[in-house]
Amino acid sequence: MNNSAFFKIGYGLYVLCAHENGKDNGCIVNAVMQVTDTPKRILVAVNKQNKTCEMIKSTKKLTVSVLSEKADFEIFKHFGFQSGNDVDKFDGFKDAKRAENGVLYVTKTTNAYISATVTTETDLGTHILFTCEANDAEVLTDDKTATYTYYQENIKPQPQKSEAKGYRCKICGYVYEGEPLPSDFICPLCKHPASDFERI
Ligand code: FE
């Protein structure tokens, strides 16, 4: 199996947010899609290790903010490469508004948001798949949606030519200098597994 085939799927990139007991949190996901029009239903899959996942499981409420091509690597680092268990990602973060379901959505470098209520959840092992009904949705800008391919080619820092030997994370660019790459290695930046690294 060629794992690179999966990178050819036309993913977008999203900030998934939740609100529980006065606390806000959000993380980056790529698995969001609309599946029915009447009612407007979306699927959202998120890794169980994300605090946002736990919060959605208990509150059944979420927002999805659609990242545009204006998004920079900082927003991916802010929401994607640190945990809501360690930091309050919305402490001092001004570019957010509260949707009518009480959950924040991100207004900076996003082009739309959807607020939704979870109707069913499916345990996928590492992830939970939430089926949701949209409560509200708005277009924020006319900027193009950032695809995963666009992120790889234009947002993620491009690898520098260097003498470093080892393995590079295909998701965030982190370099592991060493040989071999441990099979249970987890990227310290983006938390993706050893299978997402390539030899340099
Ligand atoms: Fe990484």
90 Cα to the center of ligand 1, angstroms? 22
Tell me which residue of 174, 180, 181, 179 sits closest to 76, measured CA to CA: 174
Q: What is the mean pLDDT of residues 25-51?
A: 96
181 Cα to the center of ligand 1, angstroms? 13
pLDDT in tens, 87-121: 999 999 999 999 999 999 999 999 999 999 999 99
76 Cα to the center of ligand 1, angstroms? 11
Q: What is the mean pLDDT of residues 62-83?
A: 95
* pLDDT band of 162, cuts 50, 70, 90: low
172 Cα to the center of ligand 1, angstroms? 4
pLDDT at 159 over 80: no
Q: pLDDT value at position 6?
A: 86
